[in-house]
Chains A and B, each alone.
Chain A
Amino acid sequence: MAQSQTPALEIPFSVDYRRRLPFYADVLRRLVREKPLGLLGALLVLMFFTMAVAAPIIAPYGKDEIGAGPRLGGPTMDNFFGTDNLTRDVFSRVVYGAQVSMTIGFLAILLATLISVSIGVISGYFTGWFDMFTQRLVDAFIAFPGLVFIIAVSSMFLDYEAPGLPTSGVFQTQNVILALTIGVLLGVGSSRVIRGATLTVKSQTYIEASRAIGAGHGRIIFSHVLPNVMAPVITLATLGLGTAILLEASLSFLGLGVTPDTPTWGGMLNREARTFMSQNVWLAIFPGAALSLAVFGFNMLGDALRDLLDPRLRTG
C-alpha cells in the first residue's frame, strides 16, 4: 500500500525551465487535490495575509487605543479577545500583529533568499578555493550563536535613522534592520541546501554539454542552474517564513524585538501576557494561538510544496 503512492512522488528532479509555468499551475492543482494539510496551511497563510493587508478594516479599534473596554476584561461581543491591562482591544492588536509578523517575515525571507541563492549557487557552481573559503565562513556563522549576532547588529544601529523610512510604525528603521538581521541569519544557514542542489545540477550532463558548446558561466547559471534550484528555494522560503516569524517573536519575548508602539504577537506575549496572564489567561491564549497558527500554516504549506516540487530535498 505504501507502494501505491510512490508514482506521485516520482517527479523529475531537474525540470525543464521552459515548461515551468504549466508545471507550477500543476503544483497548485495537486496541492488542492492531494495535500489537504498543505491546503490548510495555504488557507491559514492566506488568512493572516488578508489580516495584515486589511488590518485597519478588520480591527474594530485602533492598535493602541486606550479605553477600548475594561481593564483586563475577558472576551465579550465588544472585545472578541478581551482587553489588556492598558484597556486596549486584544483582537485589534492581534490583527495588527499580523501586519508586523508578515512584514518582518517577508522582508527577512527576501533577503535570506537573496543571500542563500547567491552564496549557494556561486559556491556550489565554482567550487575550488572560493567554495572552500565561503564554506568555512558559513560554518563559522552557523556555529555562532544567533542571539549575540542580533543584539550586536541592533545595538549598532540604535540611533540610526535610515533616510526614507518613517520614524515610527512597522517600517521604522530599527524594525527593518531587525528583519534584515533575521534574514542574514536564515540566509547563511540555508545556503547549504542551495549549494547542495547546485552541486547536483552541475553534475548533470546537460551542463557539461552547454559548457562544451561554449556557453559562459553567467549564461549557464541564469538559464540552467537557477531554474533548477527554484524548487528548494521556494520550499526553503516558505518554511523560513515560519522560522522568521517565530524568531521575531522570541526576540520580542527577550525584549529585543520590534519597538513597543507596534503591536506584535511576541511583544504581546512578553509584555501583557507574561505579566497578567494569571489574571486574564486570554491575554496569553490569543496572541499565542495566532503566532502558532501562522507558523503552522507556513510549515504545512512548505512541507506540501516540498513534496510536490522536490521530494528529495533534505531540509530539517
Chain B
Amino acid sequence: MTQYVIRRLLLAIPTVILVIFMTFLIVRLVQGDIVELILAERPYADEGAREEIEKDLGLDKPVPVQFVYYLRDVARGDLGESYWTSRPVTEELKDRLPVTFELGFYAIVMGLIIAIPIGILSATRQDTLADYGARSFAILGLSVPYFFTATLLIVFPSKWFGWAPPLTYTNWADDPIDHVYYFFFPALLLAFSLAGSVMRLTRTMMLEVLRQDYVRTAWAKGLRERSVVTRHCLKNAFIPVITIVGLQVGVAISGTIILESIFNMPGVGRYLVGAISQRDYPSIQGVVLVLAVAVVLVNILVDMTYAVLDPRIRYS
C-alpha cells in the first residue's frame, strides 16, 4: 500500500511540471500583453519605455530562462507578484481559494445527494416510468446550462416574489448560517449539472452488480429487495462511483468560473477571468497551477480511497 501511494505521488510530479510548463507556454502565446496595457496608459512613453517595463517584469530574458526562474520560485512556494496589483500572487489567492473549493465541495456533495438515490431507483426499477422520470430529471439537470438558470434565479424571483438569493459573501466567522446560505444557491445549480453524470454511473454500476451471482443468490434466499440493495449491492456499486468524484472536480472548478461572476463570489474563478483579461501572467499561472494541483491531488486521493475500499485492486 505504502508503495502504491509513493508510486502514485511520484507519478503526479511530472504531471504537475507539465501543467506548469503548459501554462507558462500558453499564456505567452496569447495575443495582447501587460506591457501594452501599461503603455496604453502612458502619454509620453518613448521607445525605451517598453524595454524598461519588460525589465521590471522580468520579461526581457529568454523564455526558457524565465521558466527555470519560475520553477525555482514555485519550489520555494513563491508564485510571483501580480503584474496588475503588484501584490504577491499567494496573497491574492489566500482568501479566494477557500471560496472556490468550498463551492466545489458543496456542489459535489449536493450532486451526490441528488444523483445516487436517482441512480439506484433507476437501476432497480429499470425501464419503468419511475426510471424514465428520474433519469430525465437528472439528464435535464445536465442539459440546462447553469449560467442560464443562474441568471433566471437572479432576475425573476426578485421580480415576481420580491425574494432574491443572497449576493454578498459573508465570512464563516461572522455568521456561519449566512455563510452556508450564501453558498447554497450557486452550489445547488452546479450540483444539478454534476448530478447527471453521477446518476448515470451509479445506474450502470448498480445494473452490473444486480446481475452478479451473489445478488442472484441473495434473491434466491428470498431476501427482501431493500436488504438486497442496501446490503449486497450498494457497497460494491458505490466504489466506482467514487472515481467519478475525481473527474467531477475539474468540471466543478470550471463551473465556478461562471457562477462566481454571477453570484458575486470572491473566488479564484472570477479572479482568473480578470487576470486573463489583464494578461497578468503570474496570476494566471498561479491560479492554473493551484487548480491543477488540486485536481491532481483529489484524483490521487480518490484512487487511494478506491484502493482501500476495493481489495481486488492490485497495487501495481
**Touching chains A and B, CB distance < 8 Å:** yes
Size of interface on B: residues with Cβ below 8 Å to A = 70
0 or 1 for each of B131-174: is its CB under 8 Å from A? (1 = yes)? 01001100110111101100110011001000000000000000
Q: A151–B144 Cα gap in the complex (Å)?
A: 23
Residues in B with CB closer than 8 Å to A296 are 136, 139-140, 143
Please judge, given known A-B contacts A293-B143, A315-B200, whether A144 and B19 are in contact too, CB under 8 Å. yes
Q: Are B30 and A3 in contact (CB under 8 A)?
A: no
Q: Are B288 and A246 in contact (CB under 8 A)?
A: no
Residues in B with CB closer than 8 Å to A36 are 132
The closest CB in chain B to the CB of A4 belongs to B126
Which of the 9-residue segments B56-64, B81-89, B102-110, B207-215 touches chain A?
A: B207-215
Q: Are A143 and B295 in contact (CB under 8 A)?
A: yes
CB distance from A240 to the nearest CB of B (A): 12
Residues in A with CB closer than 8 Å to B266 are none
Please judge, given known A-B contacts A6-B210, A36-B132, A143-B292, whether A136 and B284 are in contact too, CB under 8 Å. no
Q: Are B142 and A152 in contact (CB under 8 A)?
A: no
Which of the 9-residue segments A83-91, A111-119, A284-292 touches chain B?
A: A284-292
> Does A212 lie at the interface of the complex (its beta carbon under 8 Å from any beta carbon of B)?
no
Q: A273–B247 Cα gap in the complex (Å)?
A: 32
Which of A137, A139, A141, A254 has the largest count of B CB atoms less than 10 A from its CB?
A139
Q: A303–B15 Cα gap in the complex (Å)?
A: 32
Please judge, given known A-B contacts A148-B23, A313-B204, whether A253 and B152 are in contact too, CB under 8 Å. no
The closest CB in chain A to the CB of B149 belongs to A288
> Does B40 lie at the interface of the complex (its beta carbon under 8 Å from any beta carbon of A)?
no
Please judge, given known A-B contacts A3-B210, A136-B15, whether A145 and B296 are in contact too, CB under 8 Å. no
Residues in B with CB closer than 8 Å to A303 are 135, 139, 200
Size of interface on A: residues with Cβ below 8 Å to B = 57
Residues in A with CB closer than 8 Å to B125 are 2
> Does A74 lie at the interface of the complex (its beta carbon under 8 Å from any beta carbon of B)?
no
> Does A250 lie at the interface of the complex (its beta carbon under 8 Å from any beta carbon of B)?
yes
Q: Are B155 and A278 in contact (CB under 8 A)?
A: yes
Q: A104–B18 Cα gap in the complex (Å)?
A: 29
Q: A6–B219 Cα gap in the complex (Å)?
A: 13
CB-defined A-B contacts under 8 Å, sample of 26: A2-B124, A2-B225, A9-B211, A136-B11, A137-B18, A139-B18, A140-B15, A140-B18, A141-B22, A143-B19, A148-B276, A156-B29, A242-B143, A253-B147, A269-B145, A269-B148, A278-B156, A278-B159, A284-B148, A291-B145, A292-B145, A292-B148, A311-B208, A316-B197, A316-B244, A316-B248
> Does B258 lie at the interface of the complex (its beta carbon under 8 Å from any beta carbon of A)?
yes
Residues in A with CB closer than 8 Å to B19 are 140, 143-144
Q: Kindly identify which residue among A250, A254, A266, A274 contacts B151, using a CB–CB cutoff of 8 Å.
A: A274
Q: Are B31 and A5 in contact (CB under 8 A)?
A: no
